[in-house]
């Protein structure tokens, strides 16, 4: 009888260990997937939101806040795991220079004392370019094909 109880105890301990490993694995793999999804989505949404007309005119990067928020939420919602609930918090969005600070909280299936365990990922992203000047616009202005002086002299 004691060998049967011992075998049942070992099986119960194995099932408990398997359950703990499954929960920890769910937490860490969810954290990694959420981080890379947040990073890639932020980069793509910032690139989508760049004001091309302003860049062509001045050679400086500027992004539209509303376009960034719309693009980020659309892209993020298309790629998320349907088994979780997500909470997106946008802390800081600067248009010039393009900078965003975003935090995404996702609820896991793990609960302690009837409270869900949240995975929280935060990213600060700055979009920059290595160019100081817009050579295309300057060359076209020198050739007389563009007249942007009216925009520069508005003061």
Per-residue pLDDT reduced to its tens digit, 26-78: 666 667 788 888 999 999 999 999 988 887 777 778 899 999 999 999 999 88
How many Å from the N-terminal Cα to the C-terminal Cα in the chain?
A: 94
Q: Which helix (H) or strand (E) holds 31?
A: helix 2-48
- What does the alpha-carbon distance between residue 85 and residue 123 come to, in Å, rounded to a whole number? 19
For residue 38, being part of any structural domain is answered with yes
62 belongs to a structural domain: yes
Mean pLDDT of 112-141: 75
Q: What is the extent of the structural domain holding 59? A: 32-152
Answer yes or no: are the C-beta atoms of 75 and 47 closer than 8 Å. Answer: no
* Within a domain: 95: yes
In a domain, 17, yes or no: no
Q: With 60 as the cut, is the pLDDT of residue 116 above it?
A: yes
Domain count, the chain: 1
């Amino acid at each position: 009888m004691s060998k049967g109880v011992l075998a049942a105890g070992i099986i119960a301990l194995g099932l408990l260990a398997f359950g703990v490993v499954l929960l920890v694995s769910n937490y860490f793999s969810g954290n990694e997937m959420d981080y890379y999804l947040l990073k890639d989505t932020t980069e793509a949404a910032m690139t989508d939101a760049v004001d091309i007309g302003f860049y062509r005119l001045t050679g400086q990067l500027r992004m539209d806040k509303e376009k960034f928020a719309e693009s980020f939420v659309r892209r993020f919602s298309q790629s998320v795991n349907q088994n979780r609930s997500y909470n997106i918090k946008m802390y800081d969005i600067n248009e010039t220079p393009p900078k965003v600070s975003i935090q995404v909280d996702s609820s896991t299936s793990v609960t302690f004392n009837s409270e869900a365990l949240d995975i929280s990922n935060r990213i600060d992203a700055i979009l920059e370019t290595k160019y100081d000047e817009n050579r295309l616009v300057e060359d076209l202005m020198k050739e007389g094909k563009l007249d942007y002086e009216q925009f520069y002299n508005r003061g």
